[in-house]
């Protein structure tokens, strides 16, 4: 009986012009999103690897120079794109993907497309993630709003129940029919998406991302399931399909338009982060001794006394090593302590904002699927932080190597020690490997659990409302 | 086959149906007559368990319709005033769907088409979507659904309203055939002529009360009309 109901629902859905149009538009938009995602991904990856190669080549062939000059010359590090980034660009347009690693400073990331974007960018880029998060729920609403309410208005519900069809069987059949109807649009979408990922990143890298893809798919299925169950529940509850549609569109607006905006404002008000300007000012002030430590001049005096004592000499000129190297490294270390503290504070503030936003997701599943989607795609703040930390570690190592070289091979106040290409090649290249899927899942355990909870809750709601099906 | 025992329904202060006792045996056609709001549809809805009785019992084939709601419906077919169908499915698909859900034996396509023809649906309409059907055609699909269910009891709520005289006459013939097959039929109607024609008994209802119940063989058409009007004027 369930099968008969499911089949009839499926046939009706295929013949319903509203579903066909909405589904068709969603598919076209998804195809466009995949296509742009693929070309963007392909192009950016190519540009990044070319730039990465160029920056390394420049480093290796910079010729004879002082190591500290080389540290100022610096290198660029590019955050590699994971295959699933085709689907979800995440925070990358805002946080940037490239950082210049140089002496003295932990730099902000560069290449932030959002900086160059027009006001239109506020509507968000057309990514597959946006289509899946915003438009597929709309398709599900179009498919479900009349499921019971439509039959109630048409009078066929009366006819069905007069036949002795149990309401739960009816609901189950309708859910299965809906599943098949959704499949008509989702299966080609998944194939298109897999194609886009494979074309953009190649089979080897794509296969390595399979665990991430499975978690991503699971999260989206939970998200869609929640909408489907809510759609069926509202349809079972509402007297007319019109009321059902209004209620569901209302929920969609809250979930997709109001909640994300409200969450941003609320989180910003409760857990504020410093502005970029204040952040830079704070670091500058700390470096100048504003953090309670000595001023740079006083520290230089102390260091000088300490080094003279250590080597048992009375003048810097008599040192067997270069004081410049020691002093530069001392400056680095002081700077690093400041960066660690200030960046640590900033990252922790972002984390606490994310956590707070996670909890708002109880009311709006979009706020739960968004971080999970970005996280699995490797484009969330956690991945950004992981990359930034790796790049900073590399920068510090690079600077230490330069300063040590200067210290060990120079003498006294000597600053003029020169090295050549064979030294540059001793510095290892910057290699970054993104964390694995389980790391990403652990980062988003809370939104994952919320997605699961809302799916289960919506399922129970659906079961309950369908069991108490009213005829009129 | 159909039995009401002190069956009543009240909505707040309003009594839609005063305690009703009624028994319809297999082969009987019981016609409920009365003005709108007399309690005819309430009675049928109570048998279908669409509304909960305030007191009393409705039984189909000996099964209490509230306690054995799903089971009791296996023994009854229902044709409302306007048969409601799925507009995006064809007449044949609608019949196939409803018979499958009725849980009766699996019919072949030819058998299903046979039911539609027996119900009087034009053959070329069978594969057209119901969205383009006239009311009469929908009604015929409803009749086919009821016939295909082969239930022991039939509940009809003004099934012939809006049908042309020919279709209405065919419908009467069908009812006679079904009662001949031993089906117990309860039909709410405004059509005195039809009631006398194919009913075996008639009951006149007024403001939720059964005011008269008699066998059609005892009374002529003119007398029935006089009796009816007399009750309506009281």
Q: Which ipTM score applies to this complex? A: 0.77
Q: How far apart are CA B146 and CA A270, in angstroms?
A: 65
For B99, name the nearest residue in chain A, comparing CA atoms only: A163
What are the residues facing B215 on neighbouring strands? B201
**Per-residue pLDDT reduced to its tens digit, B7-17:** 999 988 888 99
DSSP A429: P
As a whole number of angstroms, the distance between CA A471 and CA B10 comes to 18
CA distances from A113 to A30, A52, A78, A178, B28 (A): 22, 19, 15, 39, 82
In the predicted model, is pLDDT for residue A123 greater than 60? no
- Predicted confidence at residue A369, as pLDDT, reads 94
- Which pLDDT belongs to residue B82? 84
Q: Does A50 touch chain B (CB under 8 A)?
A: no
Nearest residue to A177 via CA among A4, A18, A38: A4
Angle between helices A259-270 and A323-360 (to 10 degrees): 130
Percent of chain A predicted with pLDDT > 70: 96
pLDDT(A75) > 60: yes
CA dihedral A218, A220, A226, A229 (to 10 degrees): -80
Alpha carbon distance A238, A179 (integer Å): 21
Which chain A residues have a beta carbon less than 8 Å from that of B74? 164
Q: Is B88 within 8 Å of A8 when comparing Cβ atoms?
A: no
What is the mean pLDDT of the segment spanning A383-398?
92
- Count CB neighbours of A92 within 10 A: 25
Segment holding A238, helix H or strand E = none
Q: Which of A203, A38, A37 shows the shortest CA–CA distance to A126?
A: A37
- DSSP state at residue B129: B
Q: Does B112 touch chain A (CB under 8 A)?
A: no
Nearest CA-CA distance, residue B233 and chain A, Å = 33
Across chain A, mean pLDDT equals: 87
Q: Give tens-digit pLDDT for A409-423.
A: 877 776 778 888 888
The span from the CA of A203 to the CA of A193, in Å, is 14
Residue A416 has which token pair? 């003029």
Contacts with A136 (C-beta within 8 Å, 6 or more apart), sequence order: A26, A185, A186, A224, A227
B70 near A CB under 8 A: yes
Q: A162 and B86: CB-CB below 8 Å?
A: no
Report the run of H or E that residue A217 belongs to, with start and end.
helix A210-237
The domain ranges of chain B are 2-75+151-233, 88-150
Q: In this predicted structure, what is the pLDDT of residue B230? A: 87
**Between chains, do B100 and A162 touch, taking CB under 8 Å as contact?**
no
- Whether A16 has its CB under 8 Å from any CB of chain B: the answer is yes
Q: Is the pLDDT of residue A122 over 60?
A: no
pLDDT above 60 for A120? no
**Band of residue A202 on the pLDDT scale cut at 50, 70, 90:** confident
Yes or no, beta carbons of A1 and B48 under 8 Å apart:
no
pTM, rounded to two decimals: 0.85
Low-confidence ranges of chain B (pLDDT < 50): none
How is chain A split into domains, by residue range?
2-467
Instruction: Return the pLDDT at A231.
Output: 95
Is residue A248 scored above 90 in pLDDT? yes
Three-state DSSP at B188 gives strand
User: Three-state DSSP class for A310?
Assistant: helix
As given in the structure block, the two tokens for residue A325 are 């190297």
Distance between CA atoms of residues B22 and B2, nearest Å: 8
- Enter the tokens of residue A83: 């295959």
**Is pLDDT above 70 for A116?**
no
- Quickly state the pLDDT bin for A124 (edges 50, 70, 90): low
Nearest CB neighbour to B101, from listed A4, A155, A471: A4
**What is the spatial distance between Cα A228 and Cα A179, in angstroms, rounded to a whole number?**
9
Q: How many CB pairs under 8 A join A and B?
A: 69
**Domain B2-75+151-233 CATH assignment equals 3.40.50.300:** yes
CA distance B152 to chain A (A): 13
Q: What is the pLDDT of residue A253?
A: 95
Token pair of A315, please?
């003048």
């Amino acid at each position: 009986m369930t099968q008969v109901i499911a089949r009839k629902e499926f046939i009706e859905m295929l013949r319903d012009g509203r579903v066909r149009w909405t589904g068709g538009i969603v598919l076209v938009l998804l195809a466009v999103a995949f296509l742009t995602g693929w070309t963007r991904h392909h192009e950016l990856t190519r540009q990044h690897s070319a730039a990465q190669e160029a920056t390394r080549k420049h480093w290796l062939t910079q010729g004879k120079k002082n190591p500290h000059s080389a540290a100022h010359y610096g290198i660029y590090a590019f955050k590699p794109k994971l295959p699933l980034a085709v689907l979800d660009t995440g925070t990358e347009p805002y946080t940037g993907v490239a950082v210049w690693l140089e002496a003295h400073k932990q730099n902000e990331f560069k290449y932030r497309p959002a900086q160059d974007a027009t006001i239109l960018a506020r509507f968000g880029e057309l990514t597959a993630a946006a289509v899946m998060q915003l438009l597929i729920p709309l398709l599900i609403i179009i498919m479900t709003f009349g499921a019971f309410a439509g039959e109630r208005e048409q009078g066929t519900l009366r006819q069905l129940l007069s036949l002795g069809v149990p309401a739960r069987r009816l609901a189950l059949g309708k859910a299965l029919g809906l599943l098949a109807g959704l499949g008509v649009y989702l299966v080609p979408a998944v194939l298109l998406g897999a194609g886009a990922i494979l074309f953009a990143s190649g089979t080897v890298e794509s296969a390595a991302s399979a665990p991430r893809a499975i978690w991503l798919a699971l999260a989206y299925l939970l998200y869609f399931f929640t909408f489907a169950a809510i759609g069926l529940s509202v349809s079972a509850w509402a007297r007319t399909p019109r009321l059902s549609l209004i209620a569901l569109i209302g929920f969609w607006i809250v979930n997709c338009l109001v909640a994300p905006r409200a969450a941003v404002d609320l989180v910003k008000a409760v857990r504020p982060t410093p502005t970029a300007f204040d952040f830079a000012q704070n670091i500058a002030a700390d470096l100048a001794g504003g953090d309670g430590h000595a001023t740079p001049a006083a520290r230089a005096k102390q260091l000088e006394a300490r080094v003279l004592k250590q080597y048992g000499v009375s003048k810097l000129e008599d040192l067997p090593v270069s004081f410049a190297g020691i002093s530069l490294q001392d400056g680095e270390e002081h700077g690093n302590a400041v960066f660690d503290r200030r960046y640590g504070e900033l990252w922790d503030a972002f984390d606490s904002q994310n956590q707070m936003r996670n909890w708002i997701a109880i009311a709006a599943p979009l706020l739960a699927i968004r971080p999970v989607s970005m996280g699995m795609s490797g484009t969330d703040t956690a991945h950004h932080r992981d990359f930034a930390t790796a790049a900073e570690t590399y920068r510090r190592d690079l600077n230490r190597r330069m300063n040590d070289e200067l210290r060990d091979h120079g003498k006294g106040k000597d600053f003029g020690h020169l090295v050549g290409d064979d030294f540059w090649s001793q510095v290892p290249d910057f290699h970054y490997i993104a964390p694995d899927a389980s790391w990403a899942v652990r980062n988003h355990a809370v939104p994952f659990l919320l997605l699961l909870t809302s799916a289960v809750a919506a399922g129970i709601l659906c079961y309950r409302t369908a069991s108490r099906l009213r005829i009129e | 086959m159909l039995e009401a025992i002190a069956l009543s329904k009240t909505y707040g202060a309003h009594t839609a149906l005063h305690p009703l006792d009624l028994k319809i045996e297999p082969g009987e056609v019981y016609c409920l007559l009365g003005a709108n709001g007399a309690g005819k549809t309430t009675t049928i809805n109570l048998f279908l368990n669409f509304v909960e009785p305030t007191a009393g019992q409705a039984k189909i084939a000996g099964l209490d319709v509230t306690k054995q709601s799903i089971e009791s419906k296996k023994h009854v077919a229902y044709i409302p005033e306007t048969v409601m169908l799925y507009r995006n499915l064809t007449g044949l698909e609608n019949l196939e769907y409803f018979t499958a859900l009725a849980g009766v034996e699996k019919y072949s396509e030819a058998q299903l088409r046979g039911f539609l023809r027996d119900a009087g649906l034009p053959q070329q309409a069978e594969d057209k979507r119901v969205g383009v059907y006239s009311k009469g055609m929908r009604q015929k699909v409803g009749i086919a659904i009821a016939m295909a269910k082969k239930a022991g009891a039939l509940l009809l709520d003004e099934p012939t309203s809006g049908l042309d005289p020919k279709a209405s006459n065919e419908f009467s013939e069908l009812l006679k055939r079904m009662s001949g097959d031993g089906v117990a039929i309860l039909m709410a109607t405004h059509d005195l002529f039809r009631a006398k024609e194919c009913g075996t008994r008639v009951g006149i209802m007024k403001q939720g009360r059964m005011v008269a119940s008699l066998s059609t063989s005892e009374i002529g058409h003119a007398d029935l009309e006089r009796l009816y009007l007399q009750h309506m004027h009281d």
